[in-house]
């Protein structure tokens, strides 16, 4: 081949490579991932007289550790801010956790603030701005109130007891349980892996009679209360990344009061770990972010010191605000 021919061949070769590289990206439809997620945790109003000297609102440290163990950081969200401030926070965080506790689910500040974030999350997800919400115990109850537009809870006491879940046929195909092994799913249905500490809940009958709830949620499990009422213990939204558990996955690894039936078996620990990782993985799909590293750092739970609270309802540590 002549020098002229060789030069033309080389030029054509590199031109082809250049065009092909532009036409065929190495990552097709690669979904963006946020590797520095921040999950907001809505604080609870202090109602216990023993706790009042420490602050107005609180978060048990077990919830913080639970979220952090999944690979996220935590931002505490107070109940005393303006709507504009909550809207600003929403644009910074990558998910929201409604914790358990005690509050009026229609008239309290907790309910008011939760509704603001819930409405923002609905609108964001509708326009393709992914934003997950998780509700634990009262947090799950709150989600049902927000969806139904009314409080439909009834007495379903399951206090200080660990239970297996009565999984529905939809559980195997759910997003929440998708990462659980066959062994762990079997254990979940047969072993007491879920700690229950509640007096109210949503019965399956009430759910089935309410069109709003049926259209919004898929029931993943049920359980039987002390009064024989069949209550919903796990659910997830059909079209939104919203999840609820009537039980407490955080206690399996982070609460140890001997007087309380916290499940600490190997399978219980695995369950807690997998669900924390699942929810944080959902948070990674949110691309919300703080405006600066300084704003980021000043907003996180690291700026607060938990109080040892051995006598506070089974909590070893509590953050007060």
> Could you give the 3-state DSSP secondary structure of residue 204?
helix
19 is catalytic: no
Q: How many helices (DSSP H) and strands (DSSP E) are in the chain?
A: 11, 14
List the catalytic residue out of 17, 19, 137, 288.
137
> Could you give the 3-state DSSP secondary structure of residue 234?
strand
Token representation of residue 313? 């309802």
Token representation of residue 183? 């062994």
Token representation of residue 299? 């907003």
- Indicate the burial class of 49 (C-beta count within 10 angstroms; 0-12, 13-18, 19 or more): exposed
**Residues 168/220, Cβ–Cβ less than 8 Å:** yes
4-34 as b/e, with b when 16 or more CB fall inside 10 Å? eeeeeeeeeeeeeeeeeeeeeeeeeeeeeeb
11 is catalytic: no
How many Cβ atoms are within 10 Å of 101's Cβ, its own excluded?
20
List the catalytic residue out of 198, 248, 267, 288.
248
Q: Closest Cα partner for 139 from 90, 82, 202?
A: 202
Give φ, ψ of 290 to 5 degrees. Answer: -75, 160
Largest CA distance in the chain: 94
The string of DSSP codes covering 54-82 is G-SEEEEHHHHHHHHHTT-EEEEE-SS--
Gap between the Cα atoms of 299 and 36, Å rounded: 14
Secondary structure element (H or E) that encloses residue 90, with its range: helix 83-90
Active site residues: 137, 248
């Amino acid at each position: 081949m002549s020098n002229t021919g060789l030069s033309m061949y080389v030029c054509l070769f590199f031109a082809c490579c250049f065009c092909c590289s532009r036409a065929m990206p190495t990552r097709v439809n690669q979904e963006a991932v946020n590797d520095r997620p921040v999950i907001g945790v809505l604080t609870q109003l202090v109602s216990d007289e023993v706790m009042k000297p420490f602050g107005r609102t609180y978060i048990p440290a077990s919830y913080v550790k639970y979220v952090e163990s999944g690979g996220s950081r935590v931002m505490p969200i107070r109940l005393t801010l303006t709507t504009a401030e909550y809207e600003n926070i929403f644009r910074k965080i990558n998910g929201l956790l409604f914790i358990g506790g005690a509050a009026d689910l229609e008239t309290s500040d907790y309910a008011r603030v939760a509704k603001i974030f819930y409405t923002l999350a609905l609108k964001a997800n509708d326009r393709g701005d992914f934003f997950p919400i998780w509700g634990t115990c009262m947090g799950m109850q709150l989600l049902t109130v927000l969806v139904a537009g009314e409080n439909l809870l009834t007495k379903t006491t399951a206090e200080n007891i660990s239970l297996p879940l009565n999984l529905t046929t939809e559980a195997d195909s759910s997003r929440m349980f998708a990462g659980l092994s066959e062994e762990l799913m079997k254990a979940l249905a047969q072993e007491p892996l879920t700690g229950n500490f509640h007096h109210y809940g949503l019965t399956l009958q009430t759910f089935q009679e309410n069109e709003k709830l049926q259209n919004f949620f898929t029931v993943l499990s049920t359980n039987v209360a002390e009064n024989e009422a069949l209550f919903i213990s796990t659910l997830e939204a059909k079209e939104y990344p919203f999840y609820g558990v009537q039980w407490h996955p955080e206690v399996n690894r982070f609460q140890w009061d001997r007087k309380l039936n916290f499940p600490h078996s190997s399978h219980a620990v695995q369950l807690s770990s997998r669900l924390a990782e699942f929810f944080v993985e959902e948070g990674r799909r949110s691309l919300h972010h703080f405006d600066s590293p300084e704003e980021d750092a000043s907003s996180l739970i690291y700026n607060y010191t938990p109080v040892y609270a051995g006598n506070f309802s089974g909590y070893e540590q509590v953050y007060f605000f």
